[in-house]
């Protein structure tokens, strides 16, 4: 394991109970993700992308195998400890945004910092900065039902990044967006990857995302069938 490894997965197997049987969604996955990478998990529907992403993020646990986050094993940690690691080091962006409807943009973005017990003065500064990154300063007091889809997703991105996570996971982040908004979102994430050295991992089958990726891991039927780095001269 290299010292810039963010996530290290060894011989991961994930089985789901289905009736009296088991369905094996991930078969034998060994994989390292490194600092600053911009990775896509791609492959057909049902190939295991979301399952793998959820295990990487500690939202779900493996049936067999080892997962280490920044060199700390997740296997031996209890639910609370996993939640703490997640809150501290990780950010999540979902297809359906998952914003809280009664909160404003500012309050939605502030939430991870409250959970991390940051003081109010620092919170205000971090939230304003994150909202500026995604170009929503003029919408900071709006609630989600007053926002467009692209603005909701940009709010979710600010929320995922506000606590300076090491790794951000995004599951189909552009699925509900039109082409222009999808490219805007990917440009923002590419910029943050470059400027803050934040690592990103996407689960996606959106062709528009492909062109931005620096590493593409292809899943088929619960196996990694291809893993390649893309040379980016202009990004
Ligand atoms: N909780 C569960 N119980 C049983 N089977 C599950 C469960 N979650 C996922 N699966 C199965 O595991 C396989 C992988 O699912 P997963 O959601 O990871 O696919 P995916 O690659 O993200 O697909 P999509 O592109 O459609 O989002 C699928 O066959 C799915 O039906
Ligand atoms: Mg999925």
Over residues 113-142, the pLDDT tens digits come to 999 999 999 999 999 999 999 999 999 999
- CA-nearest residue, atom 18 of ligand 1: 48
Which of 25, 56, 223 is the best mutation target for the ligand 1 pocket, counting ligand atoms within 8 Å of the beta carbon and taking the most? 25
Helical H runs in the chain? 49-56, 79-89, 105-115, 120-133, 149-161, 179-196, 207-210
Q: Residue 234 pLDDT more than 80?
A: no
**How far is 209 from 69, CA to CA, in rounded Å?**
25
Q: Which residues line ligand 1 (CB under 6 A)?
A: 16, 18, 23, 25, 43, 45-51, 203, 205
Q: How far apart are CA 57 and CA 69, in angstroms?
A: 9
The CA 118 to ligand 2 mean position distance, Å, reads: 33
More confident site: 104 or 231:
104
Report the percent of the chain where pLDDT is more than 90.
74
- Which is it for strands 215-220 and 223-229: parallel, antiparallel or unpaired? antiparallel
User: Which of 73-82, 83-92, 151-160, 186-195 has the least mean pLDDT?
Assistant: 73-82
Whether domain 30-50+78-229 has CATH 3.40.50.300: yes
**Ligand 1 atom 6 nearest Cα:** 16
Provide the residues around ligand 2 (an ion) whose CB is within 5 A: 49-50
- First-last CA distance in the chain: 27
In this prediction, residue 71 has a pLDDT band, given cuts at 50, 70 and 90, of confident
Give the residue extent of every domain in the chain: 30-50+78-229
Residue 232 token pair: 């980016």
**81 vs 152 pLDDT, higher one:** 152
Ligand 2 centroid–CA 46 distance in Å is: 7
Greatest distance between any 2 Cα atoms in the chain: 54
Between 149 and 233, residue with greater pLDDT: 149
Which carries the bigger pLDDT value, residue 172 or residue 2?
A: 172
Indicate if the alpha-carbon torsion angle 108, 112, 116, 118 is positive or negative. Answer: negative
**Average pLDDT, rounded, for the chain:** 92
What band does 176 get if pLDDT is binned at 50, 70 and 90?
A: confident
Give the closest residue (by CA) to ligand 1 atom 29: 46
Q: What is the pLDDT of residues 4-27, one digit of tens each?
A: 999 999 999 999 999 999 999 999
Tokens encoding 122: 């620092």
Q: Is 102 helix (H, G, I), strand (E, B) or coil?
A: coil
Q: For 29, list phi and psi in degrees, rounded to 5.
A: -100, 125
Tokens, residue 190: 């590419």
Q: Which ligand is nearest to the CA of 219?
A: 1
- pLDDT per residue over 14-64, tens digit each? 999 999 999 999 999 999 999 999 999 999 999 999 999 999 988 888 999
pLDDT, position 120: 97
209 to each of 48, 66, 130, how far by Cα in Å?
18, 29, 22
Nearest to 90 by CA among 205, 198, 228, 8: 198
């Amino acid at each position: 394991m290299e010292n810039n490894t963010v996530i290290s997965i060894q011989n991961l197997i994930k089985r789901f109970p289905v009736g009296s049987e088991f369905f094996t969604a991930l078969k034998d996955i060994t994989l390292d993700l490194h600092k600053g990478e911009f990775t896509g998990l791609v492959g057909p529907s049902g190939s295991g992308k979301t399952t793998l992403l959820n295990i990487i993020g500690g939202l779900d646990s493996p049936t067999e195998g080892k997962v280490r986050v920044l060199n700390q094993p997740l296997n031996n940690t209890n639910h609370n400890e996993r939640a703490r690691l997640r809150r501290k080091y990780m950010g999540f962006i979902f297809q359906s945004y998952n914003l809280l409807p009664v909160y404003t943009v500012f309050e939605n973005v502030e939430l991870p910092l409250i959970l991390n017990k940051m003081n109010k003065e620092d919170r205000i500064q971090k939230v304003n900065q994150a909202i500026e990154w995604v170009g929503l300063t003029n919408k900071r007091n709006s609630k989600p039902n007053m926002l467009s889809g692209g603005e909701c997703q940009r709010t979710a991105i600010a929320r995922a990044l506000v606590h300076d996570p090491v790794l951000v996971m995004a599951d189909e982040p552009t699925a509900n967006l039109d082409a222009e908004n999808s490219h805007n979102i990917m440009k923002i994430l590419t910029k943050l990857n470059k400027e803050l050295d934040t690592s990103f991992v996407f689960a996606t089958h959106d062709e528009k995302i492909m062109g931005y990726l620096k590493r593409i891991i292809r899943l088929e039927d619960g196996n990694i069938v291809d893993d390649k780095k893309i040379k980016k001269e202009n990004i």
